[in-house]
Amino acid sequence: MLIYLIGFMGSGKSTIGQKLSRKLGFTFVDLDSEIESRTGMAVQELFDRHGEEFFREQEHRALNAVAGLKDAVVATGGGTPCYFDHMTLMNDTGMTVYIRMPAAALARRLADARTRRPVLAGIPGDRLEEEIVKLLSVREPFYRRAGITVDGINADVDKLATMILGKNG
């Protein structure tokens, strides 16, 4: 079984993914780390030196490579579902789980960490929430195609594992 965690930056995909993979005895894969090891460059560097389009191509390759894995939990990047018809690819090859979180909570969680996110890097703190609202409205239609949606604020990994196993069986 292959599980894809999707959702906005800062929604907790990696933390939940690590816990879920331990619980299920699956391998944990972080798609950004996969891109970094395949290209030998940090995400930030890929954006800075080669631009977003190049990053999205590398992301596409990395996703295609992990799509063949078995018994793995993949934490994708916040933009992954929105390019190259990736929702179809992920829904065809595994179970998609949307970790949902309101813009206000995302803004609080991303306030300090946004410098490490090239997509948000230039946005001043007082405009962060409004920019997240805008970007979320573009991205949510993709995220909503997930097979399962969970509340990222009170995420219960045990319940999520049961839900996934139930859907799969």
Q: What is the DSSP code (8-state) at residue 6?
A: E
Is the distance from CB of 109 to CB of 152 less than 8 angstroms? no
CB of 169 to ligand S3P, least distance (A): 30
Is the distance from CB of 75 to CB of 47 less than 8 angstroms? no
Segment holding 31, helix H or strand E: helix 31-39
What part of residues 34-53 is at the interface with ligand S3P (CB under 6 A)?
43
Q: Of residues 12, 28, 32, 106, which one binds ligand S3P by CB under 6 A?
A: 32
Q: Of residues 6, 9, 20, 99, which one binds ligand S3P by CB under 6 A?
A: 9
| Contact window for ligand S3P (CB under 6 A) among 73-81, 97-105, 126-134, 151-159 | 73-81
The DSSP secondary structure of 62-88, one letter per residue, reads HHHHHTT-SSEEEE--TTGGGSTTHHH
Is 118 near ligand S3P (CB under 6 A)? yes
CB of 148 to ligand S3P, least distance (A): 18
- List all residues 6 or more positions away from 108 whose beta carbon is below 8 Å from its beta carbon: none
CB of 159 to ligand S3P, least distance (A): 23
| Binding site residues, ligand S3P, CB under 6 A | 9, 32, 43, 77-79, 117-119
